[in-house]
């Protein structure tokens, strides 16, 4: 099935099976492997991307549904060599260990800050509750999002 998806501001034409998820198109057709596979059922957040301003699980979104949305992945957050404030804050707080869940966390945080520039801690916890981290960097990640959202 041929379709056109708009990812990080660029239109891409791909040929993928009708059953393909947006995650599989990103990783296998566009080479955007920064969005990770975690569970395939939208329960862990490792595959989150921003679709029309909201953080969503790309593993659950059929690629054909993504075709009429504006998709931003972890690779699209930095502007050239200038990191998105959330990315810079995650480095400053060393808010990562293995890093596998980090893309999804940063995507959720970037979507949050786009609608609420200075969220309080409870809002951050709620907004990132769909992002599981097994290494246990939650405390650092909360500090990083607060830092990125600070005026």
Partner 1 sequence: MNLQERIRIEPDGSVTAFSGKIEFGQGIRTAFAQLVANELDVPVERVRVVMGDTGQVPFDFGTFGSHSVEQEAPALRRAAAFARHVLIDRAATRLGIPATRLDARDGVVADGDGTGLGYGDLVLDAPLKGEVPEDVALLPPARWRHIGQPLARVEARDIVTGRARYTADIRLDGMARGAIARPPARGARATRVDDRAARAMPGVVAVVHDGDVVGVVAERDEQARAAADALDIDWETPRREERATQVVPLREDGGTDAALASAKLVLSATYTLPSIANASIGPSAAVVDVRPDGATVYAGTHRPFGLRDAVAGRVGLPQESVRVMPQMSSGTYGRSSAPDVSVEAAVLSKYARRPVLLQWSRAEEFAFSPSRPEAVLEVTAGLDASGQILAWRYDEHTNVHTAAGPDPRAAAMTSGRNAVPPYVIPSAHVVLHVEPTPLRTANFRSLAAAENVFAIESFVDELAHASHQDPLAFRLRHTSDTRLRRVMERVAEASGYGKKLPERRGRGFACTRYHGTYLAQVAEVEVSPAGAVRVLHVWCVIDPGLVINPDGVRNQVEGGIQQSASWTLLEELRHREGRVATTSWDTYPIATFRDAPESIEVLVEGEASAPSTGVGEPGAVPTPAAIANALFAACGARVREVPLTRERVRKAMPTGGV
Judged by the rule CB under 8 A, the positions of this chain that interact with partner 1 are 17, 19-21, 24, 27-28, 31-41, 43-44, 46, 73-75, 77-78, 83, 87-88, 90-92, 94, 96-103, 106, 124-126, 128-142
Indicate left, alpha or beta for 39 from its phi (over 0: left) and psi (-120 to 50: alpha). alpha
Q: How far is the CB of 117 from partner 1 (least distance, A)?
A: 19
C-alpha 5/C-alpha 65 separation (Å) is: 9
CB-CB contact of 112 with 119 (8 Å)? yes
Cβ proximity to partner 1, 129 vs 150, nearer residue: 129
Q: Which is nearer to partner 1, 114 or 129 (CB)?
A: 129
Name the minimum Å distance from CB 151 to partner 1. 22
Between the alpha carbon of residue 145 and those of residues 9, 58, 63, 68, the distances in Å are 25, 22, 30, 30
Least Å from the CB of residue 72 to partner 1: 11
């Amino acid at each position: 099935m041929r379709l056109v998806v708009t990812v990080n501001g660029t239109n891409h034409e791909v040929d993928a099976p009708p059953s393909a998820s947006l995650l599989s198109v990103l990783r296998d057709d566009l080479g955007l492997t920064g969005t990770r596979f975690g569970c395939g059922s939208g329960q862990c957040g490792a595959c989150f991307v921003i679709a029309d301003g909201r953080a969503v699980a790309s593993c659950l979104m059929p690629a054909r549904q993504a075709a009429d949305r504006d998709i931003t992945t972890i690779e699209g957050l930095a502007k050239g060599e200038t990191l998105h404030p959330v990315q810079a804050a995650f480095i400053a707080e060393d808010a990562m260990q293995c890093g596998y869940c980090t893309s999804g966390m940063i995507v959720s945080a970037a979507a949050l800050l786009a609608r609420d520039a200075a969220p309080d801690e409870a809002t951050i916890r709620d907004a990132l509750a769909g992002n599981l981290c097994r290494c246990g960097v939650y405390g650092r990640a909360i500090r990083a999002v607060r830092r990125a959202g600070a005026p």
